Structures are given as C-alpha cells and as structure tokens.
Structure 1
Amino acid sequence: MFELTRTLRFCPSGDPGAPRDNAHAAWPPPRGLAGVLSLDLTIAGRPDPGTGVLLNVKDLDAAFAAAALPRFRAAAGAEPAGLLRGVAQALAPTLPFPLLRLRLSASASASTELRPADMSRVILRQRFSFSAAHRLQADALSEEENRTLFGKCNRPSFHGHNYELEVAAAAAIAPDGRSLEPAALDAAVRTRVIDTLDHRNLNTDVAAFATRNPTVEHIAQTCWDLLAGGLPEGAELQEVVVWETDRTSCAYRGG
C-alpha cells in the first residue's frame, strides 16, 4: 500500500479567485496580516501500473478547493477537532481513494490530526524544547569498551544538547467540536517532563537515569514514563519523539 500526502497552505479569509502564481505559497493568499494554515491531506492506495501515479496532485488540490476550503471559510473561530471532522466528511466522498488522515497546523509547533477510520477522536501534537547535559556510559561495558562505542560522548566532563520533544495525545471530540485543549497538554508536559529534564545533568540529577544510560532512546522512553498516567482526563498518550540533533531522533510508543 502507498500513501500520498499533499500539503495545502491556505488563508481561510483569502480570495479564492486569486491566481496561483506561486506553487509554494499559500492559496488563497493572505490579506494583510491574516493567518495561514497548513493541511496535510493523505490518501492510500496503489499507483496505476501504467503511469506510476496514485492520483494527480492537481486533483487533490481541486478536491480541497471544492470540498474543504468552503468549510474553512465558513468556520471562523471553530474548534479544530470538530472542523476537521466536518472537512473529512465533505472531502472523503470526492476522492477516488480512501482518505487516510488530515493534519491541520496553525504553527510549526502544534497540529491536530484526524483519521477518518475513527471520526470520534483527534490526535493533538505539540512541540517542546529543553536543554540538558549527559554522558553516555553503559555499566555493562568496560571503560575501554565505553570509550570505543561512545567516543566523545563518553568523556567524563559531560556534554550538552538542545533537545526537541514532540508529544502526541489522542482525545475524543465532544458534541460541541472541542477536544483536548492545547494549553492543558502544554501544562502536563511542562510540569512532568520539562521541569524534570530542563537544564539538568541527566546522569546525576534525574532519578530515571540512575539505571538507564541517557541515550536518545532512553530519553524518549523516560519522557513517555513521566507522562503516562499524567495527561489531562480523557487523553491517551500515543507517541513521544525526541530529537537529540537535527539528524538524530527517536520515537517511542510504549511497550
């Protein structure tokens, strides 16, 4: 099975009659300081064996303009969860392949995702950052083996990273279209994770790493452990992703 995603950047209050001269920019374009939203539209299926194409992305653009954009234009101030459900219900019948998911972003640090296979809930994703020092040292290895395996990261003087953390939590959509409030998720992550890890020496200051080597894998697992059972009522933790650098990250989903 193949997944094809098209990212639509648009301003709900923009002019839908405006020309599409810049394929990378938002359409409809913003007026003045109006905000721009981003919608990732993902379908699933098998490409045509002759062309190798699942669906021409121009057809996805047209389906968005005809079925989804009017919903956004008429929904100023609407709750994202309920709005996405309405958009999915309007958009799915116009597509020749199953609509797998919609992900709506108003900023680079937060998004709301709906999967039409389960219209009863959405997944809220929020980005955070923290800074911490660590030393990679596995108790099961000798000093020489640790130096060989971890190199500079094994130096006794420690070193630091500016970590990025993404937390994904699922929650039901209420009858009024509301779901998990971003501020509530922010507060839980700040209290349970950021306050525990930020500006700490992970090896010496954080109890979880008394028995865990503070690798990016174990940091992701620790973030999960700190959050599990501590999210707002009705929210279910789905995934945590930790970036140690812009080239190294680890996702953890429990288990």
Structure 2
Amino acid sequence: MDLRLDGQVFAVTGAAQGIGAAIARELAAAGAQVAAVDIDAGGMAPLAAEGMSVHAADLGTRAGAGAAMAEVIARHGRIDGLVTSAGGVRGQVGRPIEEIGEDDWRVIFQANVDAAMWCAQGVAPAMKAAGRGRIITIASGAGLRPSLTGIQAYASAKHALVGLTKQLALELGPFGITVNSVAPGFVRSNPSTERQWHAMGEERQQAVLNRINMRRLGRAQDIADAVMFFASDRAGWISGQILSVDGGHA
C-alpha cells in the first residue's frame, strides 16, 4: 500500500527528538511539506537541514500554541494535517502520591493535554474552510490503562487526551476533518524515556517485556508508521479511533 502526501502541509509538534522527529521524517518522505514545532529550537536543527520549516514555541498556553499554528499557516499558506506529538513526562519518574506537588501535576497536563487542545483550536478554522483535514494525537498505553511508569499525572493526562480526541472527532467530522490517536506502548526514544526505563530496575523491566506479546519494546518508527496511515487518504473514513501500537499487550 503506497501512501503519499504530496503537496500537503503537516505540522508536527514535539518534533525535536524521538517519536516526533520520526513522524516528521516519515511524513516528509511521503511528500508532505512538514512544519516542525517544538520548544527546543536547537533540537530541530537537523530537521531544518532536511528542508523542513522549524517553529520554536511553548505550546502549553493558548497564546503560544495559537501563535505557532498561525505561523505555520502563514509560512505554508495552508494546513492539511496536525500531529500533536508534544508531551511526555517532563523528566519525572514514578513516586508515591504523597510526594506529588501542584507543579508536578500541572506541567504534565500542560504538555500533553493543553498543547493538543490549543494546537487543534489553532488549525481548526483553516481546515474547516478547506473542507478536510487530519488531526492525529499521540496518546499512550497509559491513556487506556494504568501507567507502567507509575506517574499519576501522566496516566491522567493521557486518559484526558483520549477523551479530547474522541470529542474533537465528533465536533469536526461534519467538516471533513478526521481526528484519531496513536497510543504507543513503551518506546525508548529520548532522555526522559531512558530515565523511566532505568528507574524501573531489571525486575520491572523484564515484567514489562513479559507483558508484550512480541517481547520487545517499540521503536519510534513503529509509531511513525501508524501515524502515516491515519494521515493518508486510506484513512478517510476513520475517525475517533485510538490505535494501540504496543506489540500486543497481554
């Protein structure tokens, strides 16, 4: 199945590393013009060298996300798709509930839920006017069941992101806009996931692998491949769906 995105413009948030970078490269390889968006301007330098436009922004606020999406549309003249890969655990590891402070809780919601909401809000008018569009959120297995990392805010935020995905699919469907989510299993793709993995210890690491049917962790490319399908015309009548890409979770 040859999936092409020639002539289309996709914005990818969280593009400076890991899963976001893999998604940006996969979409570009399929012919899309890719706008990479991330708070880490330096981390996007390799993507700029590959011909993508780069947009440094803090997406945790409505103003920041809205300005970033407006910049992408102004630069490319249109927006056909948005992939909200920004998120993560913001350097946190699992701790007992008694130790969690307000900032610990809120920063993860800002990164994972607020950013997706405000970016979607920023692109919706242009997509409505065009009569089509693709919005793809990156949730997590932690949005469907308790988190293996033990981070309360992360599990809660990803559950909220799944709900937002389904709600936006209902609202935007009449305008020809599909909204779907990819829910990765554990992928060691950046410094934060490396810290999480090592914080588990050997016994928990083996337990994680034993619960995966394929007995391996995911790769960033595994997630990019799933996003590519949702972005393509082959997924034109699929919306409001959460696709687990986790090697089979027993």
Compare relative contact order (CA 8 Å, sep 6+) and give the higher one, 1 or 2. 2
TM over 0.5: no
Q: Please, what TM-score do these two structures have when normalized by structure 1?
A: 0.26
Q: Please, what TM-score do these two structures have when normalized by structure 2?
A: 0.26
Instruction: Return the structure number with greater helix share.
Output: 2
Larger of the two Rg values belongs to structure = 1
